[in-house]
Chains A and B, each alone.
Chain A
Amino acid sequence: MTTTTRPKRPSVDRWAPVVEGWFRLQALAVFVFLFLPIVVVVVFSFNGTVRYVTDWEGFSFKWYQRALEDKTVQQALANSLQIAFVNACLATLFGTMAALGLQRVGKRTRLFFDALTFVSVIIPEIVIALASLVLFSGFRDWVNPWLAYLGGQGSSPTLLALGPWSIVAAHVLFNLSLVLLIVRARLSGMDRTLVDASSDLFATPWRTFRQVTFPQLLPAIMAGFLLSFTFSFDDYVISSFVNGRTQTLPLFVFGQVHQGITPLTNAIAAMMLLVTFTVLIVGQWVLSRQSRASGDRGDTPLGIIG
């Protein structure tokens, strides 16, 4: 590095330009590789073709229009948004509560919790999905005789079936751990002296939480909420096991694939991308404002991966 004292190296590394060039080329190739599919989906969703996906017949919004007019797509979109929202609220609330609670318990309880969090994150999604299916079906079969009995004289008592509730319950399991990890990371980096100062100044614990702890945790909580939302909105594996008769957008798109991709599929897919991008960009914007206001280094939601 200190080339000021040595104008030139004794042995010139002839391979340096090759290696450097190769690094750049490969990085470029990786980025092209990562973005090519996204570009392809978005571009072909504007195709004005009648049927074939790749026969370009001019720019058009007609497939978007057709997708938004489709009753099944409308229903699936509404379901997906509702499920993602409820899941994100519950997972954020419970995950944050657990992160705060874990600060107040002994080592043994904490280790027990860590083990459970670890298991929930490390197990392949499909195992969680099938285990949830087994549990929810069992619960349904156990509760339905009671419902039928209570419904009694009525001709058709409302019975429990797998649906949005079971999708939400299974998604929350996954996202709860995500929020817990993010909020705990933030808590451990937090300045404890502020909390101590607040209680020395006779603030009630609740007031300390509201005015000191919570504002500092907010970026992490927000990040957890947004990541949970996008996870649930895009999830296929868990939903496909516990959906019952409920249709979500990813389930609808997957069903379409087996009949062959149409520009309609691409338009729906592009709309899914739009929702995710919007959530991520809004989150990034809110968090960067937040961190600038509080003057600490920006913990971005995008930067947090598992």
Chain B
Amino acid sequence: MTSPAPAPRAKARPRGRGLVTTILLLPATFWYLVLLVLPLLIVVVYSFGTRGSDGGYTPALLLDNYQTLFSRPDPFILSLWVAVTGTIACLFIGFPFAYFLATRAGKRKTLFLVLLVIPFWTSFLVRTIAWLIILGPDGLEGFIQSVTGVDVAILGSPWAILLGIVYNYLPLMVFPLYVTLERLDPTLLEASKDLGASRWATFRQITLPISLPGLITGSILVFIPLMGEYVIPSILGLGKVFLIGNVLQLDFLGSRNWPAGSAKAVTLIAIMLISVTFYVWTSTRSQSGGRDVSVL
């Protein structure tokens, strides 16, 4: 519309175009402003308030909620640990897998991709519950107990949560990696090999830099929802493991301390923004650094 169109076409533009555009954008604008921006602003305002006698909100301008939060940072630290470990685990399992899909799958590539997507689009809840059976006393725990005679508690441990996380988030890591690895020119790898580079050197100097955009996208796609995860810890953690998501759920639905919960939500968003910005900044910087070296 803003582009300088040739005169005849500009004249052919029907009247009422602006009105049509407004109508087209109206519902989405309403949803974004009223159901996204407004509630987030309310949450920020609430975070400075205090809890009402009946569990509501009493207006105030206090930092109490933030002070309590920083004096008890355990859920945040645990969440960060789980999110970082989960992302790294997804990366280590997802990278060779994506590489296999992109370079070795041949004709069955489409089939493999569909197989990868199917679990992803089926119920998160159902698939997580299934792990309760697989890992539980009738499954792995029982098996280990009957073989070694040692009682192990897999469910309720951070490891069960980590497993549930890798299981649910792996496709989010694999897809962007696959997309970048598929563009990898095999002749580059050949050339590197012919020049006597070791497998590791080829990986570090060719495959890794080329797949870096996918790696960054994948890590962010996994890390962000992980920071707010609460279904997996409440199911596979048997309610014993408290991540930020669980604490938020308790504050809002359990004890109904909305101002305290709001402060945690605001902190969560802040942590995410900072860590993602930092991550993108450092990884793109090291990428350009790597390129300079290879040019030299």
Residues of A within 8 A of B (CB): 1, 15, 19-20, 22-24, 26-27, 30-31, 33-38, 40-41, 44, 52-54, 93-95, 97-98, 100-102, 104-107, 109, 113, 116-117, 119-120, 122-128, 130-135, 138, 169-170, 172-173, 176, 180, 199, 204-205, 227, 230, 234, 236-237, 240-241, 250, 253-254, 257-258, 261, 265, 269, 272-273, 276-277, 280, 302-303, 305-306
Residues of B within 8 A of A (CB): 1-2, 12, 14, 17, 20-25, 27-29, 31-40, 42-43, 46, 93, 96-97, 99-101, 104, 112-134, 138-139, 167, 170-172, 175, 186-187, 190, 199, 221, 224-225, 227-231, 235, 239, 245, 248-249, 252-253, 258, 261-262, 265, 268-269, 272
Which residues of A sit under 8 angstroms from B23, Cβ to Cβ?
A: 97, 101
Least CB distance, A169 to chain B, in whole angstroms: 6
Q: Is the CB of B2 within 8 A of A107?
A: yes
Q: Is the CB of B133 within 8 A of A94?
A: no
Which residues of A sit under 8 angstroms from B122, Cβ to Cβ?
A: 38, 234, 272-273, 276-277
Least CB distance, A262 to chain B, in whole angstroms: 11
Q: Is the CB of A105 within 8 A of B25?
A: yes
Main secondary structure of the interface of B (DSSP, over half): helix
Which residues of A sit under 8 angstroms from B126, Cβ to Cβ?
A: 37-38, 41, 234, 253, 269, 272-273
Q: Is the CB of A130 within 8 A of B265?
A: yes
Q: Is the CB of B123 within 8 A of A100?
A: no
Which residues of B sit under 8 angstroms from A306, Cβ to Cβ?
A: 172, 221
Least CB distance, B14 to chain A, in whole angstroms: 6
A169 to B227, CA, bound (A): 24
Least CB distance, A21 to chain B, in whole angstroms: 11
Least CB distance, B204 to chain A, in whole angstroms: 15
Q: Is the CB of B97 within 8 A of A97?
A: no
Q: Is the CB of A37 within 8 A of B131?
A: yes
Which residues of A sit under 8 angstroms from B272, Cβ to Cβ?
A: 124
Q: Is the CB of A269 within 8 A of B186?
A: no
Q: Is the CB of B132 within 8 A of A261?
A: yes
Which residues of A sit under 8 angstroms from B127, Cβ to Cβ?
A: 37-38, 41
Interface residue from B21, B112, B133, B265 paired with A261 (Cβ < 8 Å): B133
